[in-house]
Amino acid sequence: MYPYQRNRRVRNSKAIRNLIRETHLSVDDLMMPVFVMEGEGLKEEIPSMPGYYRYSLDELEKEIQTAADLGINAVNVYVKVPEELKDNAGTEALNPNGLMQRAIKRIKEVTPEMLVFTDVALDPYSSYGHDGVVEDGEIINDKTVDILAQISLSHAEAGADFIAPSDMMDGRILAIRELLEENNFKHVGIMSYTAKYASSFYGPFRDALDSAPGFGDKKTYQMDFANTNEALKEADMDMLEGADILMVKPGLPYLDVLYRLKEYTRMPMAVYQVSGEYAMLKAAAEKGWLDHDSCMMESMMSYKRAGADIINTYFAKDVARILKGL
Ligand code: PBG
């Protein structure tokens, strides 16, 4: 009790603060999302994500090399699909020579050690911008799941290390796992978007991939942001179905969900610091209202404190630079 317990004694110097620190962040915790597009020599800035770009495959090589040089071990690949290749069933996603499949091969050629996670979802390929097949204005679950499993197999064949389904259809982890096992891709893992909420923080990402839903919203498949028990139910299913890593998305507004899922499952947990979170900090920093780097590092530590093992973040390179003292 006061004055014998003075909490400030362990805050008095950097050295003592370092000694008693509970949570640590390293470059090993980072995963970098990359946006890929067709073309050559292209590096296009996404207007709502200042400092973040879409790359053609040749430019992507340099970006991946830079990430590897900074010690980043994992990337998460997203593709921007030309409008004329989109249809309701996302047929182009199965093209063995499609943009995603070529991107996977390219990354593995340049940096064989880099772990490649791939986004599996219909929306970048869908003429409706939805994560599933649309019939009479509805998103059809089981048909979509069959396609998602086929897409996953195609990514595995191209050399993906982990499949990362971001769609929120029911039963997709099992379908993907079974198809991978049947085809002898036993070593290919699944990072499930376990608790992905129907969030407005995805706006800038949809600009980046031109994937905004053409009608309605995603509330019949993505989770209601008022709920957390449902996230535990999703986690139960994902674990039984064979997921290796669980993800919560978005990040900062959902730290309670992250914490609960880590406590409940003890599984490797990933968090996705989404495009809207990135955009908010960039905008405030541009205005001089917030300090970019310190707020960024504080958010990283918050994810770790809440239970994240992996942070999928658009700040990955910036964070890695700071950790390296560059
Ligand atoms: C879609 C997908 C989305 C994001 C990742 N995968 C958007 C959506 O669900 O509409 C958002 C990521 C971000 O905002 O950074 N499958």
- Which residues, given as ranges, of the chain have pLDDT below 70? 1
Question: Of 129, 122, 131, 124, whose CA–CA distance to 150 is shortest?
Answer: 122
Nearest ligand 1 atom to alpha carbon 166: 16
Quick check: bond before 124 cis, omega within 30? no
Note the pLDDT of residue 209. Answer: 87
Active site residues per annotation:
196, 249
Q: What whole-number distance in Å separates Cα of residue 51 and Cα of residue 42?
A: 15
Select from 48, 166, 281, 315 the residue to mutate for testing ligand 1; criterion: most ligand atoms less than 8 Å from CB: 166
| CA–CA dist 119, 265 (Å, integer) | 23
Q: Long-range contacts of range 82-85, CB-CB < 8 Å, 24 or more positions apart?
A: 82/38, 83/210, 85/125
Nearest CA to ligand 1 atom 14: 202
Contacts of 74 (CB under 8 A, 6+ apart): 30, 31, 32, 114, 115, 116, 117, 310
Q: Is 201 helix (H, G, I), strand (E, B) or coil?
A: helix
Chain Cα centroid distance, residue 20: 31
Closest among 101, 117, 99 to 54, alpha carbons compared: 99
> Whose CA is closest to atom 6 on ligand 1?
166
Counting from 1 in the atom list of ligand 1, the atom nearest the Cα of 276 is: 14
Nearest CA to ligand 1 atom 5: 166
Tokens of 93: 């996603």
Determine contact, residues 91/143, Cβ cutoff 8 Å: no
Give me the pLDDT at residue 300, please: 98
Q: How far apart are the first and last CA of the chain?
A: 43
Distance 77 CA to ligand 1 centre (A): 12
Q: What is the pLDDT of residue 120?
A: 98
β pairing state of 310-313 and 30-36: parallel
Ligand 1 mean position, distance from CA 301 (Å): 23
User: The pTM is what?
Assistant: 0.97
pLDDT of residue 2: 76
Which residue in 66, 145, 161 sits closest to 110, CA to CA?
A: 66
CA 194 to chain centre: 11
Mutate to test the pocket of ligand 1, among 205, 220, 221, 271 (most ligand atoms within 8 A of CB): 205
Report the pLDDT value the prediction gives residue 145, as an integer from 0 to 100. 98
